[in-house]
Amino acid sequence: MENVIEQFRCSYGLSPEYEKQIHEAGLRIVGTDSMGNPRIIELPEHKFFIGTLFVPQLSSTLDSTHCIVNSFITQSLTSVK
């Protein structure tokens, strides 16, 4: 398991009563906060479908873009070729 520290500025979250429905719909919870609450979901069958409650741009700089932003740009460019 890998630990990553990200910043988020919201108090929104996934209600535990909907986790089963999320999984049944094909989404996967792939990241949680220190309390175990879901913070990142993805749709594994899709080239690039990710939802986060953290804000990738908060840890991006002009010299070092967040890896999610880089991945999104890469996937976008390969999709138009």
- 3-state DSSP assignment of residue 68: helix
Of the pLDDT bands very low, low, confident and very high (cuts 50, 70, 90), residue 11 is confident
Q: CA distances (Å), 52 to each of 8, 31, 57, in order? A: 9, 9, 12
- Helices marked H in 1-81 — which ranges? 19-24, 67-79
Looking only at the bridges linking them, the beta strands covering 38-42 and 50-52 are antiparallel
Of the pLDDT bands very low, low, confident and very high (cuts 50, 70, 90), residue 81 is low
- The tens digit of pLDDT for each residue in 19-47 reads 999 999 999 999 888 888 888 899 998 88
* DSSP bridge pairs for 42: 28, 50
* Residue labelled with tokens 């108090």: 11
